């Protein structure tokens, strides 16, 4: 292995998105990450779309492929004592364990930090869950909409006069790993200086709340409760997403914002609406917010006769923030994302090739790389047991025969 984390050994027992993305980032920078799962209870992400060729199946999920690229993979039945023995051996080998089982499950298996650190006192273990390992909500099932609700996002996304729609997908699963990774690297650095291990308890909900700090602080100061605004902004006006001409039968939209009075004037002029630019009752943001419905109607009337990319170019040319609301096709063809290596094509043993995100952190002196696609179920059982744990052939054969490696 190469990279700044080439000496780091990681046992990854996590599920779905929040935990696996932490191990994925470590693997991108050279860590040897062993991902353990079981075919007897298929990892949820393996059953989530999008799928290769549009066919559902445990080896076809692009989501799983993205979250677990760069890792070795093995299957172990943790309901068996022999399987838990394999995991204990991997925890003795590892510098870091990442897990995302429901709080208490690792202890019921005898695999919690107290047990694993007894044999490996310098072990750093990170447990990530929806609400943390202790407290009245610790046993709550960690689904995406629940995490978004607890962190406050569910109630804030949507139109003011309609029920909340919430953010797309498990929002806290995606922001949690960004903060968890920093805490984990700090613990690894502390371990390097002191030789001491540590258990890190990450509550994904708290990571989500961090991104609503202004709203929480506002409530603390004067009791203001943040509310849904649709596409409108608390300060800028106009600020919205407007319909454009369909493209290939698909709806298209463009996002537009005027951050100050000068941008508003240029926006109105780009619309050939000097009558709006000259109106005294629209000259300040305060006044424009009071006429938000009227302004949205005027802008939508203008954009609905144009292609989204034409609105984008016309407004960007005069310094008004605007961009088409990107579709999946736009994303795949985006020149900026391509320039930064956002997507990486890898060979795949079953699909011929697969596409994953590149390393999420672009470091100039120690760049990351995606060394291999996500493992198929049990792909590296033999290698991990023989080469990493040093098991003799007879012991491996017995584990296979006893149905432990599934």
List the pLDDT tens digit at each of the 406 positions of the chain. 689 999 999 999 999 999 999 999 999 999 999 999 999 999 999 999 999 999 999 999 999 999 999 999 999 999 999 999 999 999 999 999 999 999 999 999 999 999 999 999 999 999 999 999 999 999 987 778 888 999 999 999 999 999 999 888 788 989 999 999 999 999 999 999 999 999 999 999 999 999 999 999 999 999 999 999 999 999 999 999 999 999 999 999 999 999 999 999 999 999 999 999 999 999 999 999 999 999 999 999 999 999 999 999 999 999 999 999 999 999 999 999 999 999 999 999 999 999 999 999 999 999 999 999 999 999 999 999 999 999 999 999 999 999 999 9
Domain ranges of the chain: 9-211+338-402, 238-325
DSSP 8-state code for residue 153: -
* CA distances for 203 relative to 134, 179, 328, angstroms: 10, 10, 31
Report the alpha-carbon distance of residue 15 to residue 44 in Å, rounded. 7
Report the alpha-carbon distance of residue 242 to residue 256 in Å, rounded. 8
Phi-psi region for residue 99, left (φ > 0), alpha (ψ -120 to 50) or beta? beta
CA atoms within 13 A on the CB side of 190: 15
Task: Please answer whether residues 180 and 107 qualify as being in contact, where contact means their C-beta atoms are separated by less than 8 angstroms.
Answer: no
Superfamily for the 238-325 domain? formyl-coa transferase, domain 3 (3.30.1540.10)
Report the alpha-carbon distance of residue 200 to residue 125 in Å, rounded. 6
Report the alpha-carbon distance of residue 371 to residue 183 in Å, rounded. 24
Task: Please answer whether residues 277 and 264 qualify as being in contact, where contact means their C-beta atoms are separated by less than 8 angstroms.
Answer: yes
Helix axis angle, 171-194 relative to 18-28, nearest 10°? 50
Superfamily for the 9-211+338-402 domain? Crotonobetainyl-coa:carnitine coa-transferase; domain 1 (3.40.50.10540)
Q: Which two tokens stand for residue 385?
A: 């047991």
Q: Which long-range contacts (CB under 8 A, 24 or more apart) does 392-399 make?
A: 399/82, 399/86
Find all residues with CB under 8 Å of 207, minimum gap 6, and list them.
151, 172, 175, 176, 178, 179, 180
Token look-up 């990107």 returns: 326
Alpha helices per DSSP H over 200-319: 204-210, 213-222, 261-270, 274-277, 285-290, 292-303, 308-317
Identify the helix (H) or strand (E) that includes residue 107.
helix 105-108
Find all residues with CB under 8 Å of 331, minimum gap 6, and list them.
337
Give pTM, 2 decimals. 0.93
* CA distances for 364 relative to 110, 130, 323, 361, 367, angstroms: 42, 34, 29, 10, 6
Find all residues with CB under 8 Å of 96, minimum gap 6, and list them.
8, 9, 10, 11, 26, 31, 123, 124, 125, 126, 184, 188
Token look-up 């690297």 returns: 185
């Amino acid at each position: 292995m190469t990279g700044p984390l080439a000496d780091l050994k990681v046992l990854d027992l996590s599920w779905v998105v929040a935990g696996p993305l932490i191990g994925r980032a470590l693997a991108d920078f050279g860590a040897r990450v062993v991902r353990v799962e079981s075919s007897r209870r298929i990892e949820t992400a393996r059953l989530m779309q999008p799928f290769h060729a549009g066919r559902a199946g445990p080896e076809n999920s692009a989501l799983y492929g993205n979250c677990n690229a760069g890792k070795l993979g093995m299957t172990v039945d943790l309901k068996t004592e022999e399987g838990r023995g394999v995991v204990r051996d991997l925890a003795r080998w590892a510098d870091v364990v990442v897990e995302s089982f429901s709080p208490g499950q690792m202890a019921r298996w005898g695999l919690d930090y107290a047990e694993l650190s007894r044999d490996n006192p310098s072990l750093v273990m990170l447990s990530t869950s929806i609400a943390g390992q202790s407290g009245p909500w610790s046993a709550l099932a960690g689904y995406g909409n629940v995490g978004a609700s607890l962190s406050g996002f569910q109630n804030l996304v949507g139109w003011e006069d309609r029920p909340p729609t919430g953010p797309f997908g498990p929002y806290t699963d995606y922001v949690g790993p960004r903060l968890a990774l920093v805490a984990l690297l700090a613990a690894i650095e502390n371990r390097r200086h002191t030789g001491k291990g540590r258990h890190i308890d990450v509550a994904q909900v708290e990571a989500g709340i961090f991104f609503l700090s202004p709203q929480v602080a506002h409530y603390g100061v004067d009791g203001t409760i943040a509310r849904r605004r649709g596409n409108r902004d608390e300060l800028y006006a106009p600020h919205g997403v407007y319909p454009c001409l369909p493209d290939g039968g698909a709806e298209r939209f463009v996002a537009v914002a005027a951050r100050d009075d000068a941008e508003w004037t240029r926006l109105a002029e780009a619309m050939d609406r000097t009558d709006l630019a000259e109106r005294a009752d629209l000259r300040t943001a305060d006044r424009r917010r009071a006429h938000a419905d009227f302004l949205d109607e005027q802008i939508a009337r203008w954009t609905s006769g144009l292609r989204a990319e034409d609105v984008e170019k016309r407004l960007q040319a005069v310094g008004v923030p605007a961009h088409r609301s990107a579709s999946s096709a736009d994303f795949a063809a985006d020149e900026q994302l391509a320039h930064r290596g956002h997507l990486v094509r890898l060979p795949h043993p079953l699909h011929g090739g697969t596409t994953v995100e590149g390393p999420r952190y672009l470091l100039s002196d120690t760049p990351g790389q995606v060394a291999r696609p996500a493992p198929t179920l049990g792909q590296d059982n033999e290698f991990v047991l023989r080469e990493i744990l040093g098991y003799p052939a007879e012991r491996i054969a017995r584990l296979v025969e006893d149905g432990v490696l599934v």
